[in-house]
Structure 1
Amino acid sequence: MGKYFGTDGFRGEANVNLTAMHAFKVGRFIGWYYGRFHKCSVAIGKDTRRSSYMFEDALSAGLTSTGADVYLLHVTTTPSVSYIVKTEDFDCGIMISASHNPYYDNGIKLINGKGEKMEQNFIDEVEKYIDADFDSIPYATMDKIGRTIDYFAGRNRYMGYLMTLAKNSFRNIKVGLDCSNGSAWTIAKSVFDALGADTYVINNEPNGVNINMGCGSTHIEALQKFVKEKKLDIGFAYDGDADRCFCVDDQGNVVNGDLILYVCGVYLKQNGELDNNTVVTTVMSNIGLYKAFDAVGIKYEKTAVGDKYVYECMRKNDYRLGGEESGHIIFSKYATTGDGILTSIKLMEVMISSKRKMSELINPVTIYPQCLKNVKVASKPEARNDADVQKAVDEVAQQLGNDGRILIRESGTEPVIRVMVEAKTDQLAEECVDRVVNVIKKKGYAV
């Protein structure tokens, strides 16, 4: 991680940690960098936060000031920007979103010309310019100044692409969608309607300040209630920029990213489509997922937390499926990033093709109780590497043995240390987490 960019872009509270001036300079650098070789073109998407419009204007001003042409997809999803950049030969893409964070936060995600998250060496150069003088990069003049173009057509092409990925009609299936008052509200219902589903939607009335507020994949209880009240067959919930998906089965149970990986992994294996018989996970995946994979003979890799690292592992080893417990699921045959709506379509395929309810498909997996607590700290490396903290972690690991695990890690997007324990019971998991958290606090690292 750098000074400004974390594992998922430049994120912070709008006009506090992340300002319009930051966005302007990011745009200037990108426009200048690519414009050295040819006329630069950049696609920009945004979510529904009030500040997204400000950052869209600031980025556009920076880009056009150094000669780039800007194609505005307007409110759309992160995976749609990735798809458009990759298929329509843009130099790069920018998504304005803070994903699952509250409305007052925002972020700038950079996407390279292949539709992947931007390379770290490029981000390092962007950060250097953010702290440099404006005039260290020249302004375009006369007919070299760039322009902005409305590009709704790009978003529509992405929607058409999603529809081609469905192998079955969704007719007579009652589907609930929680759009989190975010990016999915312009896309998800239209896709499911076109595929024939009886579509029921909640939280699709964004007003700039209600994104992720008590809804979406981070507040799945809203969709659980909706699915049970309407007696739906299945429900899908997205986050603010719709690169995540959680599912609710026909009985109202939550199907998180780990369970999605299991359902899709088994289906791909049965159909001879699970390349190298391996699913990529992160260190946050539940021990119950690994036991279930072992039972059906599926191998797995573990990466650091972040869909960026999941995708890098998939690309390097030609793996087909990977993702995170948090709902970032990547199908490398169809996308280069997590895509919540694509994930929904693929889960529908498994259900329809197997003629089984989602509650039946997830039944073989026993998810171990998990306790996760975040501790805000002044220095993440010092807190995590402290000898007494490590001693407490080792003691918990010995106590749990093969019936649980402990993980302590630095957040990639916030100034916090995350302490997670999986154990046979909720009580034991929380007791073990508290032992480590109390040491962090006792040593004076917490703020």
Structure 2
Amino acid sequence: DLTGLRIGVDCANGAYSGLAPRAFEELGAEVVTVGDEPDGTNINLGCGATDLRTLQQTVARSGLDLGVAFDGDGDRMLAVDADGIAVDGDQIVAILALHLGVDAVAVTTMTNLGFHRLMAQHDVRVVTTDVGDRYVLEALRREGAVLGGEQSGHVIYLRDHVTGDGLASALLLCRALEGRPLAEAAAVMPKYPQVKENFPARGRKPSEELLREVDRINAELGDRGRVLVRRSGTESLIRVLAEAETEAEAEELSARIGALVRRELG
């Protein structure tokens, strides 16, 4: 029962247009819709989980309790709090993990270090996979776990579904809030600043020498941060992630690794 909840719902002009707002309304919520006028060409255009700006403005200006945004095909969901601040997939999975009381979760190499720290505090085992919801699903099945997800908004809960479902994730999130503001629930996970940069791969992958240097830097950092260099699974790119306790440290790490990648790629 979502009676009394005021929520913004961004359908990305996609699969959940019409359906998601109706689901929330039938559960008693007051709904303000965004991206709910598909014309066959405007899917994900300036709306949805890939562009939260319109939903953020709508929630903040309309005094809503929160907002949820799907991507065009409906398998991803991100949220925004009452102030229009984005809540990403890492934070959503963290909220759900604590609410559901799971003993294990599956996430990806891009998942924020703050998530790992929070799960350790609650004795929740974290299984880390390559980027991609299919790898998260494989890990869940292999480990006998039920909850996993990605920073990008894929959330998988195997007690209810066999794959990611944005609407199911949004409803589960609303239940997990138990009347709390979303900002309060999300605050349980301290987020490490992350800096991401992409480089044209030019048909190459990170060399063993570069990866050894990455390992050396990570050993030097300990639990104060990390760097990750990987080849994209979907584009001809080398992706670099730098994460640290402060924005300045993350920027410095990114510049340091970026220089090595540029030198290697020529």
Report the TM-score when normalising by structure 1: 0.57
Deviation at 1:395, TM superposition (A): 4.6
Moved more, 220-229 or 432-441: 432-441
After TM superposition, which residue ranges in structure 1, 4 or more long, deviate above 6 angstroms? Answer: none
Question: Which residue is 2:255 aligned to?
Answer: 434
Computing the radius of gyration from Cα coordinates, the structure with the larger value is 1
Pairing 1:269-284 to 2, within 5 Å after superposition = 269=101, 274=102, 277-284=103-110
Question: Which residue is 1:192 aligned to?
Answer: 24
Partner Cα distance (2:5, 2:41) in 1: 32
Pairing 1:8-157 to 2, within 5 Å after superposition = none
Question: Which residue is 1:302 aligned to?
Answer: 128
Q: Which amino acid in 2 is paired with 1:366? A: P
Which of 185, 197, 210 pairs up with 1:373?
197
Q: Let me know the Cα RMSD of the aligned residues.
A: 1.7
Which of 206, 225, 250 pairs up with 1:384?
206
Question: Which residue is 2:185 aligned to?
Answer: 361
Question: Which residue is 2:171 aligned to?
Answer: 345
**CA offset digits 1:344-394 (Å, max 9, x no partner):** 00011112xx33222221222110000111112122xx331252x335423
Partner Cα distance (2:45, 2:254) in 1: 28
Partner Cα distance (1:327, 1:444) in 2: 31
Which of 227, 235, 238 pairs up with 2:70?
238
Question: Which residue is 2:115 aligned to?
Answer: 289
Deviation at 1:262, TM superposition (A): 0.9
Deviation at 1:404, TM superposition (A): 0.5
Q: Which amino acid in 2 is paired with 1:362? A: A
Question: Which residue is 1:142 aligned to?
Answer: none
Deviation at 1:250, TM superposition (A): 2.2
**Identity, % of aligned positions:** 35
1:214 matched to 2:46: yes
Q: Which amino acid in 2 is paired with 1:440? A: V
**CA offset digits 1:299-343 (Å, max 9, x no partner):** 211111111011111112221111111110001011111111110
Which of 198, 201, 204 pairs up with 2:33?
201
Partner Cα distance (1:217, 1:179) in 2: 9
Partner Cα distance (2:265, 2:114) in 1: 34
CA contact (8 A) 2:48 2:69 kept: yes
Question: Which residue is 1:55 aligned to?
Answer: none
Q: Which amino acid in 1 is paired with 2:179? A: K
Report the TM-score when normalising by structure 2: 0.94
Partner Cα distance (2:15, 2:258) in 1: 36
CA contact (8 A) 1:310 1:322 kept: yes
Deviation at 1:219, TM superposition (A): 1.7
Q: Which amino acid in 2 is paired with 1:336? A: V
